[in-house]
Amino acid sequence: MKLRVGGLVVAALLLLALPVAAGKRISLRGWVSDEACGTLHVKPGREDCVRKCRRGGAAIGHPEWTPQRLVLVTDTDEKIWIVENPESLNGREGRHVEVQATVDTEKHSLRVESVTEIAPPATP
């Protein structure tokens, strides 16, 4: 009987965790970067580098540099989230933003629903 109740409790907890893993809507603040450079672009002035990495190096004489996916590097913990709909951040490469997004924690990805450019955090 104890085993059966314990199994039901575990099953219930797993079912409760599923919505958090995929489809939870949250607000995040961070920097729009590219997958290759990630946390290297968490300050102003890196817009051009992010744009180059996003399109790849063929246009600037480096065909070995493959195009990179856009990511959001969060302010709080510098976690890297892969942006599933990068067109939502067009023109905001290298910028500090706040996004409303649906996240998938298993894939470390997010789908941006809305975005606002914000001032970079003050540096100590």
Structure confidence by residue, pLDDT tens digits, 41-67: 888 888 988 888 888 877 778 788 888
Residue 89 lies in a domain: yes
Residue 109 lies in a domain: yes
Residue 17 lies in a domain: no
Residue 63 lies in a domain: yes
Question: Residue 27 is encoded by which pair of tokens?
Answer: 């607000």
Higher confidence at residue 57 or residue 115? 115
Q: Which of 20-29, 30-39, 115-124 has the lowest mean pLDDT?
A: 20-29
Residue 122 lies in a domain: no
> What angle is formed at CA 41 by the lines to CA 38 and CA 98, rounded to 5 degrees?
90
Residue 81 lies in a domain: yes
Residue 33 lies in a domain: yes
Q: For residue 4, what pLDDT is reported?
A: 56
Q: Do the Cβ atoms of 44 and 53 come closer than 8 Å? A: no
Domain containing residue 109: 25-117
Could you give the number of structural domains in the chain?
Answer: 1
The bridge status of strand 109-117 relative to strand 80-83 is parallel
Residue 10 lies in a domain: no
Specify which residues 100 forms β-bridges with: 27, 114
Q: For residue 105, what pLDDT is reported?
A: 93
**Is the pLDDT score of 104 beyond 80?**
yes
Which CATH number covers residue 111?
2.40.50
Q: Do the Cβ atoms of 34 and 81 come closer than 8 Å? A: no
